[in-house]
Amino acid sequence: MNNNQQITVTSPLLPDLDEFHELLKEIWNNKWITNNGSFHCRLEAALCEYLKVPYISLFTNGTLPLITALQALRITGEVITTPYSFVATTHSLWWNGIKPVFVDIDPATGNLDPDKIEAAITSKTTAIMPVHVYGKPCDTKRIQEIADKYGLKVIYDAAHAFGVEVNGKSILNAGDMSTLSFHATKVYNTIEGGALVMHDEQTKKRIDYLKNFGFAGETEVVAPGINSKMDEVRAAYGLLNLKQVDRAIEARHQVAIKYREALRNVEGITFFDDIPGVKHNYSYFPIFVDAEKYGMTRDELYFKMKEHNVLGRRYFYPLISTFSTYRGLASAHPDNLPEAVKMAESVICLPMYHTLNDVDIEKVIEQIV
Ligand SMILES: *Cc1c(COP(=O)(O)O)cnc(C)c1O
């Protein structure tokens, strides 16, 4: 099979190579290639402005900010989270010796269902870790009310929510902290990379210690930190990508419009529409297959697409709660998670990226209608 004919599920946003080369020259001249260099500082400042957040700390990927946020907030015992996410969400709890407690999702959004959180709280619960799945905002108000009532922390895995706003305000300011991933497959990437968003300078300082072995000074180590610093090369790459991310998001928006137009009246296929007041980032385009109405199962459609060189992704399938590490937990039982099971068994994410052209969009649609 000729790979060039394949329509992949994603394609990375890449900076202009000549511009990147200019910045590389600057780094070579500086001879400062990591540890809070000038590009690192510039990218943090630029991201604060772009994302409308007060403080941000860059990381080397999107998993370490999750692990580090839990460390910084001294989260222990049990944490309520969603099974409908990428495995890193739950893994971050496991790496901190925390027991994940899975709660079902709201089928209208794919996000943790606030109505089901309270029943899962025990004397050991210390935090809630929701995910803004596909960049769709969680019900942050309800979640905060529950957290306040029970004295819990809230850490959002906002890996999909780069630039997402509700009524002009960044979704990243919700909860105690929010994490971002700048992995190659995300809307905005630094190849590998990530960040932690926080509300105050004190927390930012603490996080900066933790991502640098716990160093608070030349000879002072204040915590058993880790090494998860972003280097200058990727920070420079990130600065360039930030200049074009709005254009990329708008191009994705146009793809979403075309998919919706073509699929709106296909029996047995559903998808999410935009939510009024929300600035979306079009990070993914999931469709949901109702096998009975559509006349074909999700997997049949998925493999048919694949045969015709259209690579969708069953994202998120299988549920995190089904993996060997977690399936023994009482909360991982499928009877506890009926909506998540249903969504995981019906979803296909269609190819979605800024350079997807009309011919390819048509090829994708042809497979489904
Ligand atoms: C991508 C992703 C992560 C992990 O980010 P990496 O940068 O790949 O480490 C965490 N959570 C979710 C929901 C993700 O999609």
Give residues with Cβ within 8 angstroms of 351, minimum separation 6. Answer: 7, 8, 9, 10, 285, 310, 311, 312, 360, 364
Residue 81 has a CB neighbour count (10 Å cut-off) of 28
CA distance 284 to 205: 33
Give residues with Cβ within 8 angstroms of 311, minimum separation 6. Answer: 6, 7, 8, 9, 305, 351
Nearest CA to ligand 1 atom 2: 159
C-alpha of residue 295 to centroid of ligand 1, in Å: 34
**Residue-wise DSSP of 113-154:** -GGGTGGG--TTEEEEE-B-GGGPPP-HHHHHHHHHHHT-EE
Contact (Cβ atoms closer than 8 angstroms) between residue 127 and residue 141:
no
Q: Give me the residues of the chain with pLDDT under 70, please.
A: 1-4
Q: Which atom of ligand 1 is nearest to the CA of 89?
A: 11
C-alpha of residue 89 to centroid of ligand 1, in Å: 7
78-81 sheet: strands from edge to edge: 55-59, 194-198, 177-181, 153-157, 125-129, 78-81, 99-102
Query: Left (φ > 0), alpha (ψ -120 to 50) or beta: where does 52 sit?
Result: left
Ligand 1 pocket test: which of 181, 283, 347 has the largest number of ligand atoms within 8 Å of its C-beta?
Answer: 181
Within 13 Å, how many C-alpha atoms sit on residue 228's CB side? Answer: 28
Q: What is the pLDDT of residue 2?
A: 45
Distance from chain centroid for Cα 229: 19
Q: Which CATH architecture has domain 245-368?
A: Alpha-Beta Complex (3.90)
The per-residue pLDDT of the chain, averaged, comes to: 97
List pocket residues of ligand 1, CB cut-off 6 Å.
61-63, 85-86, 88-89, 131, 157, 159-160, 181, 183, 194
Ligand 1 pocket test: which of 58, 59, 61, 63 has the largest number of ligand atoms within 8 Å of its C-beta?
Answer: 63
**Residue-wise DSSP of 194-259:** EEEEESSHHHHHHHHHHTBTTBSSSS-B-S---B-PPPHHHHHHHHHHHHHHHHHHHHHHHHHHHH
Q: What is the pLDDT of residue 1?
A: 41
Q: What is the pLDDT of residue 76?
A: 98
The two most distant CA atoms of the chain are separated, in Å, by: 67
User: What's phi and psi for 138, nearest 5 deg?
Assistant: -70, 165
Contact (Cβ atoms closer than 8 angstroms) between residue 268 and residue 292:
yes
Domain boundaries, the chain: 17-103+110-240, 245-368
Q: What share of the chain is helix, strand, coil (3-state, %, to 5)?
A: 40, 15, 40
Alpha helix positions (H), 264-350: 291-294, 298-307, 338-346
Q: What is the pLDDT of residue 5?
A: 85
C-alpha of residue 72 to centroid of ligand 1, in Å: 19
Q: Which atom of ligand 1 is nearest to the CA of 193?
A: 7
**Residue-wise DSSP of 90-116:** HHHHHTTTPEEEE-PBPTTTSSB-GGG
Nearest CA to ligand 1 atom 7: 62
Ligand 1 pocket test: which of 92, 183, 226 has the largest number of ligand atoms within 8 Å of its C-beta?
Answer: 183
Give residues with Cβ within 8 angstroms of 281, minimum separation 6. Answer: 135, 160, 161, 162, 163, 164, 187, 249, 252
Q: Which atom of ligand 1 is nearest to the CA of 61?
A: 7
- 3.30.1330.10, 3.10.20.810, 3.40.640.10, 3.40.50.1980: which CATH number matches 17-103+110-240? 3.40.640.10
Contact (Cβ atoms closer than 8 angstroms) between residue 81 and residue 112:
yes
**Nearest to 47, CA basis, from 270, 210, 204, 276:** 204
Nearest CA to ligand 1 atom 5: 62
